[in-house]
């Protein structure tokens, strides 16, 4: 599912909700480039990954653990709020804590269920926010999976974002 969402982001960004950033990857690459400006950055993939992990671990000593109301280190949530890379790092650490903290052997299953649920929610949200004429166009050229979900939304009577806007415009005119 994540591969499909990446396909939409790069190949059909107009099918996604407005505000989706096509330059997400280039923004993340720019952040990593700024973060790793020193000469100590290895060229091989493993060394590069370990260097990035070393930098992030030095910046944040702790993460929010599942079940806790407050983060152990409140500064963790405040640093680089708009940073794609830092947010991804924090999310990965939280998911790994979710996996590790249960201790009953079901942590990894729970972590993957959370990830799957997020992808399904993003897909449904995107289908409900996208414009109907794009789905009609896609039906003529080969169906996008997102169009199936959009059709299910419409068929089941669920209100899409466009329906909400039209209803609001009708109320304003009255």
| Same-domain status, 138 and 107 | no
In a domain, 155, yes or no: yes
| Same-domain status, 61 and 97 | yes
Taking the C-alpha atoms of residue 76 and residue 90, their distance in angstroms, rounded to an integer, is: 8
| Same-domain status, 106 and 134 | no
In a domain, 68, yes or no: yes
| Same-domain status, 35 and 107 | yes
Q: Count of domains in the chain?
A: 2
In a domain, 73, yes or no: yes
| Same-domain status, 149 and 106 | no
119 contacts: CB under 8 Å, gap ≥ 6: 1, 2, 5
| Same-domain status, 2 and 74 | yes
Per-residue pLDDT of the chain (174 residues; tens, 9 = 90+): 778 877 777 777 777 766 556 567 778 888 888 877 776 777 788 888 888 888 887 766 544 444 555 444 433 443 445 788 888 888 888 888 877 765 666 778 888 888 889 888 888 888 877 777 777 777 777 767 888 888 888 788 777 766 677 666 656 665
| Res 7: pLDDT | 79
| Same-domain status, 98 and 170 | no
Domain span holding position 155: 130-174
Q: Indicate the angle between helix axes 145-155 and 132-141, nearest 10 degrees.
A: 130
| Res 57: pLDDT | 78
In a domain, 53, yes or no: yes
């Amino acid at each position: 599912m994540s591969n499909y969402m990446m396909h939409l982001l790069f190949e059909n960004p107009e099918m996604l909700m407005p505000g989706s950033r096509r330059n997400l990857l280039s923004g993340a690459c720019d952040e990593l480039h700024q973060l790793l400006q020193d000469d100590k950055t290895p060229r091989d993939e493993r060394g590069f990954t370990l260097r990035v992990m070393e930098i992030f671990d030095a910046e944040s000593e702790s993460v929010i653990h599942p079940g806790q109301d407050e983060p152990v280190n409140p500064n963790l949530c405040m640093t680089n709020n708009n940073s794609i890379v830092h947010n991804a790092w924090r999310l990965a650490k939280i998911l790994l804590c979710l996996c590790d903290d249960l201790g009953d052997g079901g942590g990894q299953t729970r972590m993957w269920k959370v990830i799957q649920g997020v992808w399904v929610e993003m897909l449904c949200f995107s289908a409900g926010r996208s414009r109907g004429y794009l789905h009609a166009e896609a039906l003529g050229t080969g169906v996008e999976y997102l169009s199936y979900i959009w059709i299910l939304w419409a068929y089941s009577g669920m209100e899409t974002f466009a329906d909400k806007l039209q209803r609001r415009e009708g109320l304003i005119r009255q």
